[in-house]
Structure 1
């Protein structure tokens, strides 16, 4: 799982957060390995699967704890956390287990403000679709405007 999570994190770090693609489908489903052409994912499904109520539950300087609520259907998907800013060479996305509702992020600069997004990857490809949460920011950081 560590290798798969690393590949997922690297791929997602290249993606723009909160930019769902508008297509049509009845429901979003986890993509099956080897599937030739996955069903399109409707923008309403993306919004329905996005993590909710993301909050920083503890800020200990170099260590931050986050918690969020996942919609029931989103529990069938892996979860990722994106942080901003990141230093050159650092990985901005952390891959978590399927259905995760909290995490600890270590190695942060205690003097820097950060924003965090929690996402549910619905499709990982050149045209990835991730259901992103609203940002949770600390230490005076301001989230970049996102396109929805």
Structure 2
């Protein structure tokens, strides 16, 4: 997870900016902090837990294509959603931006003979110390998720 946090910081910023470009009506940066608090204050663990995607599962594994589904707590539906997969090939992005409130996706271009792990996250703050509410991992074809240090 420590490696993911480093990757998430750089990639999530790009994810958020790309979502902003696609939706000009959205003008405020998502943040779980209370109004009037500084953006540098940490988001407490309770707030992160309350917005964490739940029940991530593979609904179809067709070799090169996998379908995933999960649920979002009501408060998380106003945030963009990101998908992380591992392993990735050189030159591929580990994190993919999904739409705001997304609860299902298809992942194409997978190696049918390889195992993969997936995480779904809700970026709560995009900054040098980004905060993302990550789901529990789900893995396929014998892959095993790395445990948190």
Tell me if TM exceeds 0.5.
yes
Alignment of 1:36-75 (within 5 A): 37-38=38-39, 39-75=41-77
The aligned counterpart of 1:12 is 12
The aligned counterpart of 2:20 is none
Q: How many residues align?
A: 123
The aligned counterpart of 2:87 is 85
Return the alpha-carbon distance in structure 2 between the equivalents of residues 75 and 123 of structure 1. 15
Deviant stretches of 4+, over 6 Å: none
What is the TM-score with the length of structure 2 in the denominator?
A: 0.76
Please state which structure has a larger fraction of its residues in helix.
Answer: 2
What are structure 1's unaligned runs of at least 5 residues? 1-7, 14-28
Q: How far is 1:65 from its partner?
A: 0.3
Q: How far is 1:47 from its partner?
A: 1.0
Could you say if the C-alpha distance between residues 10 and 95 of structure 1 is closer, same or farther in structure 2, counting changes exceeding 3 Å?
A: farther
Q: How far is 1:36 from its partner?
A: 9.7
Q: How far is 1:10 from its partner?
A: 5.6
What is the TM-score with the length of structure 1 in the denominator?
A: 0.76
